Amino acid sequence: MRPKKRLSQVFLIAPAVARLIAEAVPLKGKRVLEVGAGRGILTRELAERAASVTAVEIDEDLISRLERALQTYKRAEIVQGDALEMPFNGYDAVYGNLPYHLSSQILFKFLDSDSPLAIFMLQKEFAERLSAKPDSKNYSRLSVMTQAAAGVERIALVPADCFEPIPRVDSAVVKLVCRKKKILDASLVTALFQHKNQTVRNALLHSERALGLPKARLAEFAASLDKRDRKVRSLALEDFAELSKAYSSFAR
Ligand code: SAM
């Protein structure tokens, strides 16, 4: 069966990498969700170690192959369906060599769940954005919104030839550990990052449409901020939290 591009089917073929992912944290006694089980290379490693594995795969054509690969693992349950439609709550850890076109959606679904930990294989560039720090090239809305909810650690770089078919990009495995959420206004963060290299003041003045407020009101808000002359790209997470709080009082 040929891999399906529309489902981002890029299968891991390096057993050592699957093992490294499964060994990234101790899994004894843990309930694990795996998103996009594919042919089961990672599922088997997880089932060796965890108390239970719920492996979700959307592609019906892969299910019988997965069932064969996992028939000796009583602790693995295969669920055919769309991971975006399934609850991520109630697991000790969420794993996945993610379908790359759904990386953001799956990431935010995990961050909104009550599961405390995730280990994801992602496109290297996407992974770099998750952990990027202020004033770096990759610092973005994604960095801020992710770090507001979780600590991000890169565990490994995985070269493209560890997959079949060989993708055009390298990958990275990241560990996400949820922490007490910083309350951010997602629309404000998004609007500001559309003008990443501008000062907060100018970015706000250019956000009439994004924020749905007239320029005069945005100017008034900007004038009230002691960070108005800082470049958006230099703001730390705490700065975004502070701006979000001020904005929520102002826009009320
Ligand atoms: N885990 C396998 C591996 O490491 O070889 C497969 C990884 S492959 C990058 C992503 C897998 O996610 C594919 O098997 C694809 O069919 C599946 N997939 C794509 N969209 C999905 C969705 N919405 N829900 C569940 N699985 C999905």
What does the DSSP assignment read for 204-225?
A: HHT-HHHHT--HHHHHHHHHT-
Q: Which of 19, 35, 119 to mutate to test the pocket of ligand 1 (most atoms within 8 A of CB)?
A: 35
**Would the CB of 192 count as within 6 Å of ligand 1?**
no
CATH class in words for 5-178: alpha beta
Q: What average pLDDT does this structure show over 109-121?
A: 98
In angstroms, rounded to a whole number, what is the distance separating the alpha carbons of residues 39 and 83? Answer: 16
**CB 42 within 8 Å of CB 12:** yes
**Would the CB of 174 count as within 6 Å of ligand 1?**
no
Q: pTM for the whole thing?
A: 0.95
For 6-43, write each residue's pLDDT tens digit: 999 999 999 999 999 999 999 999 999 999 999 999 99
Q: Which sequence spans correspond to the domains of the chain?
A: 5-178, 186-250
The whole-number pLDDT of residue 225 equals 98
Q: For the domain made up of 186-250, give the CATH fold.
A: Helicase, Ruva Protein; domain 3 (1.10.8)
Exposed, middle or buried, 210 (CB in 10 Å: 0-12/13-18/19+)? middle
Q: What average pLDDT does this structure show over 190-197?
A: 98
- Give Cα separations from 26 to 20, 52, 74, 132 (angstroms): 11, 13, 19, 27
Q: Do domains 5-178 and 186-250 have the same CATH topology?
A: no
Mean pLDDT of the chain: 97
**Would the CB of 9 count as within 6 Å of ligand 1?**
yes
**Would the CB of 10 count as within 6 Å of ligand 1?**
yes
- What percent of the chain lies above the pLDDT cut of 70? 100
In angstroms, rounded to a whole number, what is the distance separating the alpha carbons of residues 169 and 132? Answer: 19
Query: Who's near 169: CB < 8 A, 6+ residues apart?
Result: 123, 124, 125, 160
**CB 63 within 8 Å of CB 57:** yes
- Given a cut of 90, whether residue 1 has pLDDT beyond it is no
